[in-house]
């Protein structure tokens, strides 16, 4: 029987081109992963909801790779995405919070009255690039931009 499984990625996964490669970023997973163009094409297929067997078949015909080589490529991408917490429903890292800092061992220079991080819906977003790093900054109000 043919494999019809899909490996859904987290819904907020964004692919950003960076020179000849790509960066996959997920705010939900709090993870960023570098990908080559071939891996990014596989991620785009996953985002489109294509089945594993369809992706392998496509890779075999387009990249002139044997089916077992195409399966290895897909497995490698799935492993990287899974390790980064970017596969939906398969990640323990997603939404994971850092361990609390022990008062005696934590940084001493943090202000005691610093408010806790509260989620918000961004009204504006801007991308900034510095050397080889590209960052997406989200703002709640126009004045922050």
Looking at residue 124, what DSSP letter applies? Answer: E
CB-based contact 24:32 (threshold 8 Å): yes
* pLDDT beyond 80 at 97: no
How many residues in the chain?
145
Residue 68: pLDDT over 90: no
Angle at 93 between CA 50 and CA 54, to 5 degrees: 10
Q: Does pLDDT of 108 surpass 60?
A: no
Burial 114-133 (b: 16+ CB within 10 A, else e): eeeeeeeeeeeeeeeeeeee
Q: List the single range of 7-21, 87-101, 116-130, 131-145 with lowest mean pLDDT.
A: 87-101
Distance (Å, rounded) from C-alpha 99 to C-alpha 114?
A: 18
Q: Which two tokens stand for residue 63?
A: 């990249």
Rounded average pLDDT over 53-77: 86
Which CATH architecture is the domain 14-97 placed in?
A: Orthogonal Bundle (1.10)
Q: Provide the pLDDT for residue 54.
A: 93
Q: Is the pLDDT of residue 81 over 90?
A: yes
Average pLDDT value for the chain: 80
Locate the domains of the chain by residue range: 14-97
- Amino acid 102: pLDDT: 53
């Amino acid at each position: 029987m043919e494999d019809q499984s899909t490996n859904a990625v987290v819904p907020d996964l964004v692919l950003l081109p960076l020179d000849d490669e790509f960066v996959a970023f997920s705010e939900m997973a709090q993870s960023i992963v570098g990908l080559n163009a071939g891996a990014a094409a596989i991620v785009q297929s996953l985002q489109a909801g294509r089945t594993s067997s369809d992706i392998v078949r496509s890779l075999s015909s387009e990249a002139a790779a044997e089916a077992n080589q195409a399966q290895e490529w897909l497995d490698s991408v799935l492993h990287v995405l899974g390790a980064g917490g970017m596969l939906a429903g398969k990640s323990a890292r997603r939404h994971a919070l850092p361990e609390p800092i022990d008062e005696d061992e934590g940084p001493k220079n943090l202000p005691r009255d610093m408010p806790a991080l509260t989620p918000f819906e961004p009204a504006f977003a801007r991308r900034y690039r510095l050397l080889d790093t590209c960052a997406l900054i989200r703002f709640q109000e126009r004045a922050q931009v």
